[in-house]
Amino acid sequence: MAANKKVLITGAAGLVGSVLRDGLADSYDLSGVDIKAIDGFDCHVADTTDLAAIQPAFEGIDTVIDLASIPSQHSPWDVVHRNNLTSTYNSLEAARVAGAKRVIFASSNHATGNYENDLPYSAIVAGEYEGMDPDAIPYITTTMPIRPDGPYGIGKAFGEAAGRYHSDVFGLSVLCMRIGTLNREGRPTAPRQFATLLSHGDLVRLASACIDAPDDIRFGVYYGVSDNKWRFWDVANSREEIGYHPQDNAEAWR
């Protein structure tokens, strides 16, 4: 771990940003960009849909954690189109122009959310476990086709594709975190979340693993989920490629 590694968080004022600001502060030289200022934190105030306005925040940065988007999975297409797609592309472009080495894109489980219409996942998210062995769940892997469950998920799939383009064409290292359920409570608040929870601590572990991942990883997609008994997203490639080892289990709150 490089203690002086300069890490920029876009969308730093949001929930995910606040968890990462707290959890990464002792390990990296953090700064942010957001449409609003953050008390006590080095934050460049700008709208991420304006490339020229955000570019100064990227100068001298080693790694970008790109969170900038309207975070609701229920966002309509016009909001995703106007804000999320543009913000994502602008972050990649600003990183490229500034010479950053890596962008960590906050993707989402909603890029593959429609798998949850199929068994056994539909039963698991409903909390109906009868007759099922949690050790025999067929995992959804990052090699399986995307199946977005709405405009928000489409926007995240776009971000992964844009990241792949910037990796292939410009040599930017792009790692995509398909974040599970991360809420303010940091614990399950509905049946589905006993499978999909990403605890605050495990989010920080995943982000740290991405920041410190080997430089020769040019592109990767990694599910962000805790070590839940009923999880159905595969984290084997996360363990093997970037050393992400989730430590929390939603059953602790059962």
**Does residue 1 form part of some domain?**
no
Please report how many Cα atoms fall inside a 13 Å half-sphere around the Cα of residue 183, on the Cβ side.
14
Q: How far, in Å, CA of 23 to CA of 207, rounded?
A: 10
Return the CATH number at 205: 3.40.50.720
The pair phi, psi for residue 102, each rounded to 5°, is: -150, 140
pTM: predicted TM-score of the whole model, two decimal places: 0.96
**Does residue 114 form part of some domain?**
yes
What pLDDT is recorded for position 3?
Answer: 54
What pLDDT is recorded for position 2?
Answer: 47
DSSP string, 82-123: IIIHHHHHHHHHHHHHHT-SEEEEEEEGGGGGGGGGSTTHHH
Q: How far, in Å, CA of 88 to CA of 94, rounded?
A: 10
The interaxial angle of helices 151-170 and 85-98, nearest 10 deg, is 20
Which residues constitute the domain of residue 116? 6-253
**Does residue 223 form part of some domain?**
yes
**Does residue 209 form part of some domain?**
yes
**Does residue 37 form part of some domain?**
yes
**Does residue 173 form part of some domain?**
yes
Q: Report the side by side order of strands in the sheet with 219-224.
A: 43-45, 29-34, 6-10, 63-66, 102-108, 173-179, 219-224
**Does residue 220 form part of some domain?**
yes
**Does residue 246 form part of some domain?**
yes
- How many distinct structural domains can be found in the chain? 1
Task: Tell me which DSSP letter residue 251 carries.
Answer: G
pLDDT tens by residue, the chain, 254 residues: 445 899 999 999 999 999 999 999 999 999 999 999 999 999 999 999 999 999 999 999 999 999 998 888 889 999 999 999 999 999 999 999 999 999 999 999 999 999 999 999 999 999 999 999 999 999 999 999 999 999 999 999 999 999 999 999 999 999 999 999 999 999 999 999 999 999 999 999 999 999 999 999 999 999 999 999 999 999 999 999 999 999 999 999 99
Whose CA is closest to 200, among 10, 20, 14?
20
